[in-house]
Amino acid sequence: MIAIVCFGNPLHADDAFGFYVYEALQRLGEWPNENACLIFAGTSPLDAVNIFEKCQTVIIVDAAEPDQQPGLIEHMEIENGSISVDFLSIHRFSIADAVAAMQAEGLSLPAMELISVQARSLQGFSLTMSEEVSMAVEPVATLALARLHSILNQTEYLVG
């Protein structure tokens, strides 16, 4: 199984990013096959461990702490569960915490990719994302879907 897993809180300004990417991906149409799924996982990557353990590959979509140019889109592979310290998660428990929990339990890690956008505002209980982050929703949805198709094609090539 290959999953696009989106994190975010639609009530917290730019942290809503993953939620809106999830909605955009739903609008983009049909999923390529039964080996792919789209999941909105809320705000706790630690709660997503049960999702991660069922997947061969996970494409994670999330907003990052605002320490660079707002709206900046970054795509990185998380090799062997080692997430870059450059990615600062907004959430109380980070993706790195979820990976550490899987390793502590002796669970197999899926191949992981992260597509993130630099947040401008993390103001709580705000239903409005910044313009820079709002403009990144469609490009990130398109990138995530392109990565999904690419991974599926590689997997089918190796299997077939």
Q: Is the pLDDT of residue 86 over 50?
A: no
Neighbouring C-beta atoms of residue 150, cutoff 10 Å: 10
User: Which domains are assigned to the chain?
Assistant: 2-159 (3.40.50.1450)
User: In terms of Cα–Cα distance, which of 20, 29, 55, 27 is closest to 151?
Assistant: 55
Identify the burial level of 97 via C-beta atoms within 10 angstroms of its C-beta, where 0-12 means exposed, 13-18 middle and 19 or more buried: middle
- The partner residues of 36 in beta bridges, in order of sequence, read 2
pTM: 0.86
SS (H, E, C) 64-98: ECCCCCCCCEEEEEEECCECCCCCCECCCCCHHHH
* pLDDT tens, residue by residue, 53-77: 999 999 999 998 878 899 999 999 8
Identify the burial level of 152 via C-beta atoms within 10 angstroms of its C-beta, where 0-12 means exposed, 13-18 middle and 19 or more buried: middle
Question: What 3-state class would DSSP assign to 56?
Answer: coil
Torsion region of 71: left, alpha or beta (phi above 0 gives left; psi -120 to 50 gives alpha): left
User: In terms of Cα–Cα distance, which of 110, 117, 122, 111 is closest to 143?
Assistant: 117
Mean pLDDT of 5-16: 92
* pLDDT tens, residue by residue, 128-140: 999 999 999 999 9
Which range among 40-49, 51-60, 78-87, 125-134 shows the weakest confidence by mean pLDDT? 78-87
* pLDDT tens, residue by residue, 24-36: 999 987 776 788 9
What does DSSP assign to residue 109?
A: P
Joined together, the tokens standing for residue 147 give 């990565």
Neighbouring C-beta atoms of residue 28, cutoff 10 Å: 14
- What percent of the chain has pLDDT above 70? 86
